[in-house]
Structure formats: structure tokens, C-alpha cells
């Protein structure tokens, strides 16, 4: 082997890896160039879907809005109803409002008017428990504005054509006014044993439930479920 051939052989042995990389790069470059030329010579037509007319898009958008309004999930409607309910909480009844005045206040009221109610029972045959329970509910144990000092209406008795005494309006409702609490209890006794309520005199003093039901049936109180509240006050406070 000639010295020149020996030199080439040694060079190839020392640099075979570099030469292989170079050959690979040349091959890749030639392949890309060939592909580019073929693309230039053979143009390809791309398929494109035509755009929707602006009017159709607007119609679709309107239909979606309409469906979203009419077909709203039930959970959204329920959430709205609950929110509305939260804005309009249930109004407390007379018994619930009475209990908020505090047990001490209720106890003091019972001690103050227990003898008065029993006295009215002896004179008019009205159960003392019914009278006292009604006074507690309607005056809120003496804390209601119409039952305070100078007004003394402990039963929410309204003004009537035959009423000749003082009167005052509360929330658009005319109520009787009395000089003292005892006068209020006495007028209550006359009120529930005369006129439309005269039939109640036939009930016995021990017929607590009968009195409660009759007062509710005659419309003595505007309080819903008045008879049940009356009986509950009698039970809870041992009247």
C-alpha cells in the first residue's frame, strides 16, 4: 500500500464518526430540498369550509340565549326562591313574640294580674286562665305600645260604634284606651259576654278548650291559630 493510501486510511479511522455525522446532515439537507421542489411543482388545493353568514351567527346566538333562559337548570330556580324567602322571613306569632320578652317579665305580669283575672271569673264566669293568657298574648306581657302607661289596652280591643271612651290609632287600627289596667280587664269581661259573644256565657269556667275555640271562631283575635296559642300559654305557664 502506498504512503498516500496509508495516510487516507489512517485519517478515515481517526475521523469516521465526524464523517458519518457530516454525511447524515448532507443527506437530510438534500431530502428537504427535494421535497420543497416537489411542492413547488405540484400545488395542492386545500379544502376550506365556507364561513357562516353573519346573519346566521346572530340567529344562533339569539336562540342560545332564549334556550338558556327558558331551560334554566332547576337548581338555579330553587336558589332564587330560597333567596327570596330569605328576604321575606316568616313573621313571628304572638306566642313567639311573648317568649322574647323574657321569663322574668312574664312571671311579673302573671303575679300582677292573677287576682284580677280570678275576680273577673267570679263575676262574669270567664275562666281566669283564659283571661290571663289572652292578656299575655295581646299585650306581650305589658310591653306592647298599646298596653303601656296611659293606654292600658291589654286585649287589643278595637274601637266600636258603642265605645265612648278614649281611642288611638296603631298601624291604621283604632284601639280603645283606658285610665288603668283594671279598667281594661273589666271592659274585656263585658266585651266577651255581650253582643256577638253572649253565647260564651253558656260555657263553664272549667271548659278551657271550649272558651279558646269559641273565641277563635267568633273572631276575637286576628292572630292565626289563636286557640292553640292560648292553650299553649296556659300549659307552659301553669295558669
* Residue 176: CATH number of its domain: 1.10.530.10
Closest Cα to residue 126, out of 213, 202, 230?
Answer: 202
**Has residue 66 been placed in a domain?**
no
Segment 61-75 mean pLDDT? 36
How far apart (Å, rounded) are the C-alpha atoms in residues 114 and 111? Answer: 6
220 neighbors 197 (Cβ within 8 angstroms): yes
pTM above 0.75, yes or no: no
pLDDT value at position 93? 82
Phi (first) and psi of residue 103, to 5 degrees: -65, -35
The secondary structure of residue 198, as a DSSP letter, is G
Residue 112 counted as domain residue:
yes
% of the chain at pLDDT higher than 70? 66
186's grid cell: 273589666
How confident is the prediction for the chain on average, in pLDDT? 76
Rounded mean pLDDT, 47-75 = 39
Q: Which pLDDT does position 24 carry in this prediction?
A: 72
For residues 218 and 194, what is the distance between their CA atoms, to the nearest angstrom? 12
The rounded distance, in Å, linking the Cα atoms of 212 and 136 is: 14
Strand partners, 169: 174
Tell me which residue range forms the domain holding 181: 95-236
100 inside domain: yes
Cβ contact 107:114 at 8 Å: no
Read off the pLDDT of residues 6-20 as tens digits, 9 standing for 90 and up. 666 666 666 667 777
- Does residue 157 belong to any structural domain of this protein? yes
The arithmetic mean of pLDDT across residues 170-194, rounded, is 93
Task: List residues bridging with 21 in a β-sheet.
Answer: none
Number of domains in the chain: 1
Task: Say whether pLDDT at 135 is over 80.
Answer: yes
Average pLDDT estimate for 83-97: 60
Q: Looking at per-residue confidence, does 67 or 145 come out higher? A: 145
Residue 189 maps to a domain? yes
Cell reading at 118: 280570678
Residue 166 forms part of a structural domain: yes
Residue 195 belongs to some domain of the structure: yes
Beta carbons of 156 and 138 less than 8 angstroms apart: yes
String of b and e for 96-112 (b: at least 16 CB within 10 Å)?
eebeebeeeebeebbee
Cβ–Cβ under 8 Å, residues 230 and 219? no
For the segment 195-210, what is each residue's pLDDT rounded down to a tens digit?
999 999 899 999 999 9
Query: Cell match 305600645: residue?
Result: 145
For residue 22, being part of any structural domain is answered with no
pLDDT at position 215 over 70: yes
Amino acid at each position: 500500500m502506498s504512503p498516500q493510501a496509508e495516510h487516507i486510511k489512517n485519517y478515515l479511522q481517526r475521523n469516521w464518526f465526524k464523517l458519518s455525522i457530516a454525511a447524515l446532515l448532507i443527506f437530510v439537507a438534500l431530502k428537504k430540498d427535494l421535497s420543497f421542489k416537489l411542492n413547488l411543482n405540484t400545488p395542492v388545493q386545500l379544502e376550506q369550509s365556507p364561513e357562516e353568514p353573519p346573519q346566521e351567527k346572530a340567529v344562533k346566538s339569539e336562540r342560545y340565549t332564549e334556550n338558556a333562559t327558558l331551560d334554566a337548570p332547576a337548581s338555579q330556580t330553587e336558589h332564587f326562591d330560597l333567596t327570596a324567602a330569605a328576604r321575606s322571613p316568616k313573621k313571628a306569632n304572638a306566642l313567639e313574640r311573648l317568649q322574647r320578652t323574657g321569663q322574668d317579665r312574664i312571671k311579673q305580669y302573671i303575679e300582677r294580674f292573677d287576682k284580677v283575672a280570678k275576680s273577673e271569673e267570679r263575676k262574669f264566669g270567664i275562666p281566669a286562665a283564659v283571661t290571663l293568657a289572652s292578656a299575655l298574648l295581646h299585650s306581650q306581657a305589658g310591653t306592647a305600645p298599646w298596653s303601656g302607661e296611659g293606654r292600658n289596652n291589654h286585649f287589643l280591643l278595637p274601637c266600636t260604634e258603642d265605645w265612648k271612651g278614649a281611642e288611638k290609632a296603631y298601624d291604621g287600627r283604632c284601639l280603645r284606651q283606658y285610665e288603668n289596667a283594671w279598667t281594661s280587664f273589666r271592659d274585656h269581661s263585658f266585651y266577651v259576654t255581650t253582643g256577638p259573644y253572649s253565647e260564651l256565657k253558656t260555657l263553664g269556667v272549667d271548659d278551657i278548650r271550649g272558651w279558646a275555640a269559641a273565641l277563635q271562631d267568633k273572631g276575637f283575635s286576628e292572630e292565626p291559630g289563636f286557640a292553640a296559642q292560648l292553650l299553649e300559654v296556659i300549659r307552659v305557664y301553669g295558669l
